[in-house]
Amino acid sequence: MNSTIFTGTIPALMTPCTAERKPDFDALVRKGREMIEAGMSAVVYCGSMGDWPLLTEAERQEGVARLVAAGIPTIVGTGAVNSREAVSHAAHAAKVGAHGLMVIPRVLSRGASPAAQQAHFSAILEAAPQLPAVIYNSPYYGFATRAELFFKLRRQYPNLIGFKEFGGAADMRYAAEHITSQDDQVILMAGVDTQVMHGFVNCGATGAITGIGNVLPREVLQLVELSKQAAKGDAVARRRALELSEALNVLSSFDEGTDLVLYYKHLMVLGGDQEYALHFNATDALSAAQRHYAETQYKLFRQWYANWSAEQNLA
């Protein structure tokens, strides 16, 4: 099973919405193309960043179909409140020619049950056996997939080729120590923006799924490239990756909180993407203080990055 789709840097696309608070699929495709043209290797659609709980099944699948039809390498999130809908999204992804699956655990109903999660994962993997898939591990979904369950599934479903870790540093290390180090054919994706450097340098990650990369694609691509070089022992690259990671830290940390989509849509508007100004729920909004903090941190990072980049060119 080809794992190429899960290498490189991959933004988790958000869903822009119209004045009527309906999905704006034209804007979604434009952003997907823009990300690929910037150097991203693929996109994820309808992970947590895509507001999947707020979209209908038909809306989600239209977004997937539009991205694929536009020639954009697309990984599809399978999040759903029941396995039947998750299977529907996996089967649709295969039907329209998507390139991979991000398999999200069962939520709410029996979410803490390993047996229920095994059945849920199995049903999704069976629905699209030709698509390479990674399990999305996140504390926010209330279930931690451990090595025993992962390899039990992998023995039965060869399309399960990797693990996307959205937890913190210790979670990333667990995945490297107990899952990817057990089988060198299994790949690890750094799934939270604050752990990109740690994922590549200390945990052998082969790719990153990013939120802040929607806002700052050039800078995140640079961080990933420096981290890859640092993972090979390059001391200068390691120092530069650490500096860039630290400077990005506050903006990256929005990825770890409940308001991640609100923050990143606001930052995209600051960057000129007005189609991200609205949310599907009118009551979903940052407070004035949150907006001010995000704007201050965004301006600070842009100033720092301009000076830092000039220093690198002079060195």
| E strand intervals along 141-298 | 160-165, 187-190, 207-210
- Confidence tier at 288 by pLDDT (50, 70, 90): very high
**pLDDT exceeds 60 at position 315:** no
> Is the pLDDT higher at 111 or at 11?
11
d(CA 242, CA 211): 19
* pTM above threshold 0.85: yes
d(CA 106, CA 101): 15
DSSP label at residue 232: T
Query: Please, are residues 212 and 248 in contact by the beta-carbon 8 Å criterion?
Result: yes
Half-sphere exposure of 126 (CA within 13 A, CB side): 10
DSSP label at residue 46: S
The percent of residues in the chain predicted with pLDDT above 70, rounded, is: 99
**pLDDT exceeds 80 at position 313:** no
Quick: pLDDT tens for 158-186. Answer: 999 999 999 999 999 999 999 999 999 99
Query: Please, are residues 69 and 81 in contact by the beta-carbon 8 Å criterion?
Result: no
The partner residues of 31 in beta bridges, in order of sequence, read none
Quick: pLDDT tens for 261-286. Answer: 999 999 999 999 999 999 999 999 99
| E strand intervals along the chain | 8-13, 43-45, 74-77, 100-103, 133-137, 160-165, 187-190, 207-210
> What are the distances in angstroms from CA 103 to CA 56, 75, 199?
18, 10, 20
- Confidence tier at 111 by pLDDT (50, 70, 90): confident
Quick: pLDDT tens for 16-69. Answer: 999 999 999 999 999 999 999 999 999 999 988 999 999 999 999 999 999 999
Per-residue confidence (pLDDT) for residue 197, from 0 to 100: 98
